[in-house]
Amino acid sequence: MGLSSRSAVAIHALTLLARWGGKSLTSAEIADSLESNPVLVRRILGSLRDAGLVWATEGRGGGWTLAREPRQITLHDAFAAVEPGPILSRHPHPPSAECEVGRNIQALLEVEFQDAERAMQERLGRTTIADLRQRVFDIERELGLKR
């Protein structure tokens, strides 16, 4: 089935915050764009806050803002903040040490899986929130011209 959709939600929220510049948005406003729930948003944005990607201010008039420039936040930053642990699962329990393959395969697979995960993360690290914001701008501008 794959991983959770938290990365998609996180990237969406970060792009939304970037879209509105320094303006702070409430979890309810972000939830509106996601057609989701403010509590869900606060949980995911909470992870982003713990990772140093956003700020939250409490109380009346509070909300969320980016803690860094959009071009200093990559998709991998968002991914790593909300998706803990490895992507590819290892053996559910250690294989048999009696078997030539069993006693060696875990260490060999670990290297392969880490390399594969790293390749994905590197690719995610090449796109920034500023890139996504720019593309949203471009698409919207083009639509505006056609109208």
Residues contributing to the site for a second copy (CB under 8 A): 1-5, 7-9, 11-12, 15-16, 19, 32-36, 75, 79, 85-96, 98-102, 104-105, 108-109, 112-113, 115-124, 127, 132, 135-136, 139-140
| DSSP states of 60-99 | TT-EEEESS-GGG-BHHHHHHHH--S-SS---SS---TTS
Count Cα neighbours of 61 within 13 Å in the Cβ-side half-sphere: 0
Is residue 72 near DNA by the rule CB under 7 A? no
Q: Which two tokens stand for residue 48?
A: 């982003």
The one among 32, 43, 127, 131 contacting DNA by CB under 7 A? 43
Closest-CA residue to 76 (of 11, 124, 137): 124
Q: Decide whether 21 or 62 has the Cβ nearer to DNA.
A: 62
Give me the residues that bind DNA (CB under 7 A), please: 1, 3-6, 26-28, 36-40, 42-43, 45-46, 49, 56-64, 89, 92-93
